[in-house]
Amino acid sequence: MPLSARPGYLVRRLHQIHSAIFLEECQQYGITPVQYGLISTLLAKPGIDQVTLAGEVGIDRTNVSDVLKRLAERGLLRRERSKADGRSMVAFLTKEGERVAEEMYESMRRAQDRLLQPLRPEFRSAFIAMLTELIEGNSQYAVSENGSKGRKEADEE
**Given a cut of 90, is residue 72 above it in pLDDT?**
yes
Per the model's pLDDT, the better-predicted residue between 141 and 19 turns out to be 19
**In a domain? residue 150:** no
**In a domain? residue 133:** yes
**Given a cut of 60, is residue 150 above it in pLDDT?**
no
Per-residue three-class SS string for 43-67:
HHCCCEEHHHHHHHHCCCHHHHHHH
**In a domain? residue 111:** yes
Q: Considering the chain, what is the average pLDDT of its residues?
A: 90
**In a domain? residue 153:** no
Q: Domain of residue 91: give its range.
A: 3-141
Q: What is the band of 142 on the pLDDT scale with cuts at 50, 70, 90?
A: confident
Q: Is 12 exposed, middle or buried (0-12, 13-18, 19+ CB in 10 A)?
A: exposed
Domain containing residue 9: CATH number: 1.10.10.10
Q: What is the band of 141 on the pLDDT scale with cuts at 50, 70, 90?
A: confident
**Given a cut of 50, is residue 36 above it in pLDDT?**
yes
**In a domain? residue 94:** yes
Domain count, the chain: 1
pLDDT at 151: 43
**In a domain? residue 154:** no
**In a domain? residue 149:** no
